[in-house]
Amino acid sequence: MRNIVKWSGYSMLGLLIAVTLIGCAGGAINWNQQPPYSLERTWGEKGSAPGQFNDPTGIAVTDTEVFVSDARNGRIQVFDRSGQFQRTFGTPGDGVGELGRPMNLTIHDDKLYVPEYMNDRIQVFSLAGEPLRVIGGPGKGPGQFNAPGGVAVADNGDLFVADFYNHRVQHLNADGAFVKQWGTTGETGKGAGEFTYPTDVALGKDGALYVADGYGNRIQVFDTGGEFLRKWGGPFGLGLYGPFKGWITTVTSVAIGPEGGVFVADFYNDRFQKFTAMGDYLTAFGTAPDNPGHTAMAVDVGKDGALWSVNFADNRVEQWQPE
């Protein structure tokens, strides 16, 4: 449960909120610039049989298939785009091909990259489910991880990893060799280039790196050389959380749409928000949970613009269509 923040400077907080609500605070415009997406299709329920899930935490789509991290079942399930079960791979464990709570998924060059929360590593699979290699391992050193949550892969194969408990983002070569990092290992922060439990990363077509700064309640953006560009989420990207449009209350996933829109999973607000690449708020949509918990856990966007998500509380996959 999140701690409630007590403020001594009520007048300053009130000013920040007022500025945000009139649309002048880093993209937090308090009206929709685009229509919300509509819920097109759902499938799944709690369980361990094919097509059932136990805490789904990640999703990635191709033109024909949908890959889902079935975290507590220690597996990846694959479906066609109508929800028909195709295959599964992985079993709980820490060996090669086994999975310890897979998280946000990424597909690049016909390979599936799977960060593992419990095993502190990234496994790479073929899309058929064949294990290809393991990257990293537990620790605080360069190229090591402490519960990685998401990975982005550049055209040259370089990796960018959200290293959750180490409060950093790491840049690795395609072979897993350390290049550099953003953030200070083991230290949270609210400044530019500092993180509080980062959960996911995504690369724009221009190479810009978008970081889901999880409990920092914001998105941070860096250029291809690692220089900070901008941040948003609440007033001035300070990380204040709340239910207002453009504010975020724990961002658990980020994805870039085919036209450059930035989609974020706003977990505790049970919604997905869409922004421009500059952080301007566009729209929001989501579902209230049928079961205890929260819904908006992970997101991906297909080439056709359809948004795919996993509903954490209700153990299901959801497909959303733009109006």
- Cα→Cα distances 260→204, 303, 307, Å: 7, 11, 13
Query: At residue 17, does pLDDT exceed 50?
Result: no
* Cα–Cα distance, 25 to 240 (Å, whole number): 12
Whole-number pLDDT of residue 259: 94
Flag the least confident range among 25-34, 65-74, 128-137: 25-34
The label of the residue with tokens 């918990």 reads 293
Whole-number pLDDT of residue 94: 97
- The answer to whether the CB of 69 falls within 8 A of the CB of 298 is yes
The residues, ordered by sequence, that sit 6+ positions from 283 with a Cβ below 8 Å of its Cβ are 32, 33, 34, 35, 36, 37, 273, 274
Query: At residue 9, does pLDDT exceed 80?
Result: no
Query: At residue 194, does pLDDT exceed 90?
Result: yes
Closest CA to 176 of 223, 211, 141: 141
Structural tokens at position 114: 């799977």
Domains of the chain, each with CATH number or no CATH: 33-321 (2.120.10.30)
Query: At residue 19, does pLDDT exceed 50?
Result: no
Query: At residue 202, does pLDDT exceed 80?
Result: yes
Question: If pLDDT is split at 50, 70 and 90, which confidence band does 58 have?
Answer: very high
SS (H, E, C) 139-181: CCCCCCECCEEEEEECCCCCEEEEECCCCEEEEECCCCCEEEE
Question: If pLDDT is split at 50, 70 and 90, which confidence band does 27 have?
Answer: very low
Where does residue 27 rank: exposed (0-12), middle (13-18), buried (19+ CB within 10 A)? buried
**What is the average pLDDT value for the chain, to the nearest integer?**
91
Question: If pLDDT is split at 50, 70 and 90, which confidence band does 30 have?
Answer: low
- The answer to whether the CB of 39 falls within 8 A of the CB of 289 is no
CB neighbour burial string for 47-72, b if at least 16 within 10 angstroms, e if fewer: eeeebbbebbbbbbbbeeebbbbbbe
- Cα→Cα distances 239→9, 15, 91, 212, 254, Å: 16, 16, 37, 12, 16
| Model pTM above 0.85 | yes
